[in-house]
Amino acid sequence: MDWTVATYLAYLLVAVPLTVWVAHTLSSNGRVFLEDVFTGSEALAHAVNRLLVVGFYLLNLGFVSLYLRSGTDVSDLRGLLEQLSVKIGVVTLVLGVVHFLNIWVFSAMRRRQRMDSFRSAPVAPQGYVAPFAPQTPYPAPGR
C-alpha cells in the first residue's frame, strides 16, 4: 500500500491550521506593539496589522503548498511519520523565521521613531532670547 497521499493529507491537516493559529496569535498580540510603533495613529496600526496578516498567509500558505510534494514514495506508517516530521519541522522553522524578521523590522521602526522623538524640542519656544555675548574676550591660544 502506498502511504504518499495519506502523508500529503496529514501534512495539510497539520500545516494549514498551524499557519492559521500562528497568524491569529501574531495578529492579536502584535496589535499592541504596532500601536506603539505608530504612535497616535491607531487606524494605521490596524491597517498595517491586517496587511501583515494577509502577507503572512500568502507567504506561508504558498510555502506549505510548494513543499507538499515528496521526492520519494512513502511505503509504510514509519515512512509517513518520518516524512511528516520533516515537513512540519521545516514549516515551523519557516514560520519562526518570518516572525522574527517581522519583529526585527518593527523593532527598528520603533527605535527610529523613539530617536526622532528625542530630536524635537520638548517645549515649544516661548519667545526671542538674545544671543549670549561675553563681557571679556577669551585670550587667543598660546598667549
pLDDT, tens digit (0-9, with 9 covering 90-100), for 90-108: 989 988 998 888 888 878 8
Asked if residue 124 is part of any domain, the answer here is no
Q: Which of 95, 104, 122, 121 is nearest to 37 (CA)?
A: 104
Structural domain count, the chain: 1
pLDDT value at position 136? 64
Give pairs for 90-98: CB < 8 Å, separation 24+: 91/15, 91/18, 91/19, 91/60, 91/63, 91/64, 91/67, 92/18, 94/60, 94/63, 95/18, 95/19, 95/22, 95/60, 98/56, 98/59, 98/60
Asked if residue 132 is part of any domain, the answer here is no
What are the pLDDT digits (tens) for 9-31? 999 999 999 999 988 988 888 88
Asked if residue 134 is part of any domain, the answer here is no
Asked if residue 22 is part of any domain, the answer here is yes
Distance between CA atoms of 42 and 57, rounded to whole angstroms?
Answer: 23
Q: Which domain holds residue 106?
A: 4-116
